[in-house]
Structure formats: structure tokens, C-alpha cells
Structure 1
Amino acid sequence: MTTLVIGAHPDDEVLGVGGTIAKLAAAGEEVCVLIVTDGSSTQYPGDRVKRAQKKGELEACCRTLGVGAVVHGDLPDMQLDTVPHTKLNDFIGDHVATWRPDTIYTHYPDINRDHVRLFESTLVVARPRPGAFVRRLLAYPTPSATEWDVPLLKRPFVATCYVDIEAHLETKIEALACYDTEVRPYPHPRSAEAIRAIAAGCGVKVGLRAAEEFMLLRDTAWA
């Protein structure tokens, strides 16, 4: 069993799916992470030091979570709407073809335009064609993006499945701490205290102490 987590920016993987990644890895399953943008070119234009720092933070985070393989792309941060749709499709598709995951987690299309473009391209790559090996497709919310969207403008995120991460929450917190460039003081959503609160809030919806929530987009595992 191979699971692929696709994110637009370094830290998306741990914010949205960190506890689930740690749980799968601890159970011996293969987990791959694909981050498609450089994560720094808009915030720090031309700063190669920051680019290298982001890459180092991503790799440290993934080691903490137990990720088996990680790729850090170089598409422009916060500018995926300037990248041809087919180019983004091909970039994702090449790695999906290499890893052949049966499950993919991708962004829910929220207020962040990079998340929207990534969601759209993932749907293209994971089309349920005859012989397709991707059997389950899920969307994850991203703290500091999804909850800041305006429901009046689009359909809001609605969770349809939950993963118990009580035993792996502290690993998620430890992995998030690898991102010196992204962690913020509480009550910002990208803080350790907020991540614990979010996990507790998700958990109490389904009788758990800590959970991550997802929207199931497609499941053909029983087809």
C-alpha cells in the first residue's frame, strides 16, 4: 500500500495530513510526499538561502513523520495560476506514475489559488480510467487557508471521513516545529497550540480525542 500526499507549499503536508502520515508510516505503509512549488520565490524573491532553508525544513519534517520519499518541486510559489495547466498535470502525473499510489491526499480548493490549481490537476491525474491504480482520492483542509475562506463564494469544506491521530499528535507537532519559517505564535492556526485545538475539535465530532478530517472524493477500492 502506497499513499501520496500532494501539497503546494512546504508545511502543507504536515498541517493537513501530518498525523495521518505518521500513523501510516508507523504501521509500515509507504508514504510519499510531493510538494510542487519552491515555497519561497514570492515571499523571498531571489533568496537562494531561504530556498535551501525551506527544502531543509521540508526534509526534516518528513523524516520526523516517517515519510519514505519526498520531492520538492521548483514551480513558482503563489503563482501556480501562471503555470500552464498541462505543465502542472505532467509534473504531478510523472511522480504519480513513478510511485503508483493507491491513495492520494490533495488540497481542498480554498482561498489559496495554488491550492485550487493543485486540486484541479490532481483530479486530472487521478481520473478513474480502466486499469487506474489510484483507488482512493481525498481532499484535506489546510489551517490558515481553508477556514479563512468565505462560504458564500464557494461550497465550504465538509468532512466525510476522520482519522484517529491521538497516538501521533505529538509527532505531528514535532514535525511542524521543523518549519522555523512558517510556525507562528498562538492563536495563529500554524502554532502548536492551534494544531492541538484543531485536532481536538475534529475528534469530538466523532468521539475521538484527536483526529484529522478529510473529504472523500472517490473510492473505487471495492469496485
Structure 2
Amino acid sequence: MSLPFNARRVAVVAPHPDDEILGCGGTMARAAAAGAEVHVVVVTRGQPPLFDEELVRRIRSETLQAHGTIGVADTCFLDFPAAGLDQVRRSELNAALSDALSRIAPDLLLIPFIGDIHLDHQIVFNAALVHARPRGPGGPSCVLAYETLSETNWLAPGVTPAFIPNMFVDISETIERKIAAFQAFRSQVKPSPDERSIEAIRALATLRGATVYRQAAEAFVLVRQID
């Protein structure tokens, strides 16, 4: 499937800063290198007292640095409360995300997976699909759900939706850029064997790549494709 790199405008929806790099940083980098405009919409922002304001400012700076490494054209922050989307009126979230995505007008939309353990991820998945409904000629022609280390695999497959990838993107040439981008999140990088370690990111990319006989890959669930 070559659509991700024929796409001219790519939108990545991240519930929280760094989800997009963990989930599809290599794909983002490859799309940007192919000449696509890559946009990121970060839905939430940590808010006191749950999150320290200084840490939140630091993560915002790290996010922009990581996106610069990837080649992101623009980053939009919606600033809904992190770990609190279940307290937000769904219509308000849907409208804000849809407005942001309408301005981008992507032909490729990358979103978190519905089966992620974090409720914010589940809510963002549904909100993104509200926008992506094929009700006119201007919607995204391809919607992919990405996997996020420490979120996608921590629920209960068999009881909850399991991440069973049916789309793989070769990131053999961009895995190092993905890792460099995640390293920009100095506040989030953990030592091995934590899933948010550099070793874990590389191991997952190696495993997904071996599945399709590539050196490194990212895996997705194809939600919808319109040819």
C-alpha cells in the first residue's frame, strides 16, 4: 500500500504529547521526507494540580523539538485536560478536533487505537472518527490506527479490542529519526526494560519489521480506505 507516501497532507492525532512519536514517528518522518505536509494535533495538556506546570511547559518544548526532528509542518495544541477527557462534553471535543482537522484537510489520518488502556485514547479515537465520517468529498481517504507502547498492549485482548495489525509501513530508513525524536522527550524516556525506553522502541520496530521481512516497521489497523 503506497497511499501514505502519495498523500500530500497527513494529520496525526495525539491524545498526549509523545503518543504520535511512539505510535507513528517513523511513518511521519517517511511521509515528510517524501514531500507530504505532516500536521499533528495534540488534544490534551496537563493541568494542575494533577500535573506540575513547570513539567507541562517542559513537555510542550520537548514536543516542538521532537516535531522539528521529524519534519512536522505544524503542531496544533487543543489543551483539553489530560487524563480528564471523560469530564469534557463530547460535543465540545468533537467540534474542536473537527475544526482543527478541517483546517488541515488531510487525505491520510493517523489516530490512536480504540483498544488502548488510557481512556483519553479511546475518547480521541471516537472523536477523530466523528470528523472522518465519509459524508462529503473532502474527508480523509485513508484512516489508520497506530499502536502506542505502554497503552495499546496494556488492556485485556480477548476481552477488549485487540490490536491486530493489517497494515505495515517500512521505517528502515527513518527508525533512527523516530528514536531521535523520542529522545527529545527527555522527561519521558525511561531506562530499559520500561516500554518507554529506547530499547523497547527499537525492539518493537524490529519485531514489526520482521513480520513483513523488513529491518524496521510500524504497524497499523486500517480503519477505512477509499480509493
What is the TM-score normalised by the length of structure 1? 0.95
What is the distance in 2 between the residues matched to 1:162 and 1:176?
A: 20
Please tell me whether the aligned partners of residues 140 and 213 of structure 1 are also in contact (alpha carbons under 8 angstroms): yes
What is the distance in 2 between the residues matched to 1:213 and 1:48?
A: 34
Residue 67 in 1 paired to residue 72 in 2? yes
Secondary structure in 2 matching 1:148: coil
Q: Choose which of 203, 212, 222 in structure 2 pairs with 1:216.
A: 222
Further displaced range: 124-133 or 102-111: 124-133
CA deviation map 1:128-151 (0-9, x unaligned): 113233111110111001111111
What is the distance in 2 between the residues matched to 1:105 and 1:46?
A: 27
What is the distance in 2 between the residues matched to 1:210 and 1:131?
A: 35
What is the TM-score normalised by the length of structure 2? 0.93
CA shift at 1:46, angstroms?
Answer: 6.1
Match of 1:11 in 2: 18
Distance verdict in 2 for CA 1:127–1:49, change over 3 Å: same
What is the distance in 2 between the residues matched to 1:143 and 1:161?
A: 17
CA shift at 1:152, angstroms?
Answer: 3.0
What is the distance in 2 between the residues matched to 1:203 and 1:50?
A: 34
Match of 2:37 in 1: 30
Secondary structure in 2 matching 1:146: coil
Match of 1:91 in 2: 96
CA shift at 1:155, angstroms?
Answer: 2.1
Residue 117 in 1 paired to residue 123 in 2? yes
What is the distance in 1 between the residues matched to 2:105 and 2:42?
A: 17
Secondary structure in 1 matching 2:99: helix
Secondary structure in 2 matching 1:158: coil
CA RMSD in angstroms, aligned pairs only: 1.2
Q: What code does the residue aligned with 1:80 have?
A: L
Q: Give structure 2 stretches of 5+ with no counterpart.
A: 1-7
Secondary structure in 2 matching 1:34: strand
What is the distance in 1 between the residues matched to 2:208 and 2:52?
A: 38
Secondary structure in 2 matching 1:199: helix
Residue 108 in 1 paired to residue 113 in 2? yes
What is the distance in 2 between the residues matched to 1:127 and 1:19?
A: 26
Residue 81 in 1 paired to residue 86 in 2? yes
CA deviation map 1:122-177 (0-9, x unaligned): 11110011323311111011100111111132120110100000110010010000
What is the distance in 2 between the residues matched to 1:46 and 1:107?
A: 22
Q: Give structure 1 stretches of 5+ with no counterpart.
A: none
Q: Choose which of 205, 209, 221 in structure 1 pairs with 2:211.
A: 205
Match of 2:4 in 1: none
Identity of aligned residues (%): 37
Q: Choose which of 127, 150, 171 in structure 1 pairs with 2:133.
A: 127
CA deviation map 1:10-31 (0-9, x unaligned): 0001000100001111111100
Secondary structure in 2 matching 1:202: helix
